[in-house]
Homo-oligomer: A and B are copies of this chain.
Amino acid sequence: MPPRKKSAAPATGAPVSMADLARELGVSMTTISRALSDHHSIGPEMKRKVLKLAKKYNYQPNRLASALRKGRSKLLGIIVPYIEGRFFARVVHGMETAARQAGYHVIICQSNEEEAQERRNIEALLNLQVAGILTSVARTTRDYQHFDQVTERGVPLVFFDRRPDERPVHAVVLDDQEGGYLATRHLLQQGCRRVAHVAGPQYLNIYRNRRLGYLQALQEAGIPPDEALISYGDMSQEAGAAALRQWLKLPAPPDAVFAAGDYAALGVMEAALSSGLAVPGELAVVGFSNETFTVISKPAISSVEQRCEEMGQAAVRLLLELIEADGSVLGPRQLVLHPELLVRASSQRLEVSAAPKETKPRRK
């Protein structure tokens, strides 16, 4: 192979290093390094010259070398259960945007909801010397010591949406209870008196909290909860439909349903319509997650918006704060985001006088 040329020349796409620039200018590498990082001890004269030459040769710093030297890279690791769902895709969108603005880049890993994969991802990210890690715990994770390993190594860790319970961790979460409360209260305000609930797996805190919010709203309205009106399932469309069919057999069937997920809400609604029930007239329905199809379905489904992008951005901001604090942060930092109820046709019983369809039409 051809020997390295003496004078820096961008003939081919050859990478130019600081040493090359130093040689060319007849100064030391230190000067170059300082000039490029805008160190105060460099004369404006020199600075100009260095920058000019750097531009001329299109100098590009080797971030890896820099990271190796400094012991920390400008990389953030993200571990999500899966990326193709709408929720995580939107969160990652917010994260990438916030990270980029701060000069960081993000490495995406998927755990596929498996603890073992999560463990491997953590290890790999640490080996890549990431500056911090953002993660949403896999469904199957029961043991959390691989997360402890992260903080023990001095790498900041922020959980988002799904966090380990009862552990003092940094986290950004949605107030799911508030979401459940808002949805249920809204149904009660529409005049409904027997509000049923399609609940998700209770070992997941998000579903537990949505259910708590449901109960809170009932209690506030002085309505005793009725376990017969709560259906536990996997939140699928079919689960929602099945739940409704059961409820219709009751002596006093519900006049409203709050489903902890949009697919279940859709299932409820379709089962209702095909049983000849009017929606929202005889059965009002609210879902959760603001999936794309909620706007499109007939009638459009009211739903709780989770502010995914904000969650992503907030998580990155918190992580960067921890990174810059460099271990001097004491207690766990928590950030709770507030959900937003989007009222659409499926729950709109009372005629709203000249009001827009969605209470807060913030989306484009």
Interface residues of A (CB under 8 A from B): 12-13, 15, 60-65, 67-68, 73, 75, 82-86, 89-90, 92-93, 96-97, 100, 105-110, 123-124, 126-129, 149, 151-154, 266, 291-293, 296-298, 309
Contacts of A85 in B (CB 8 A): 89
Are the C-beta atoms of A68 and B64 separated by less than 8 Å? yes
Instruction: Check if B64 sits within 8 Å of A129, measured CB to CB.
Output: yes
Check B266–A12 contact: CB distance below 8 A. Answer: no
Distance in angstroms between the alpha carbons of A77 and B15 in the assembled complex: 18
A117 to B70, CA, bound (A): 27
Contact of A152 among B13, B84, B106 (CB under 8 A): B13
B residues near A62, Cβ cutoff 8 Å: 68, 127, 129
Asked if B92 and A108 sit within 8 Å, CB to CB, the answer is yes
Contact A84 B90 (CB under 8 A): yes
**Which of these, B15, B68, B108, contacts A108 with CB under 8 Å?**
B108
Interface centre among A65, A82, A127, A292 (most CB of B within 10 A): A127
Contacting pair A126 B293 (CB below 8 A): no
Given known A13-B149, A67-B64, A129-B62, contact A93–B110 (CB-CB < 8 A)? yes
Q: List 28 A-B contacts (CB under 8 A).
A: A13-B151, A60-B126, A61-B127, A62-B127, A63-B127, A64-B64, A64-B68, A64-B129, A83-B83, A83-B92, A84-B89, A84-B90, A84-B92, A86-B89, A93-B110, A96-B108, A100-B109, A100-B110, A105-B109, A105-B124, A105-B128, A108-B108, A266-B296, A292-B292, A292-B293, A293-B293, A293-B296, A297-B297
- A63 to B60 alpha-carbon distance, docked (Å): 21
Which residue of B is nearest A263, CB measured?
B296
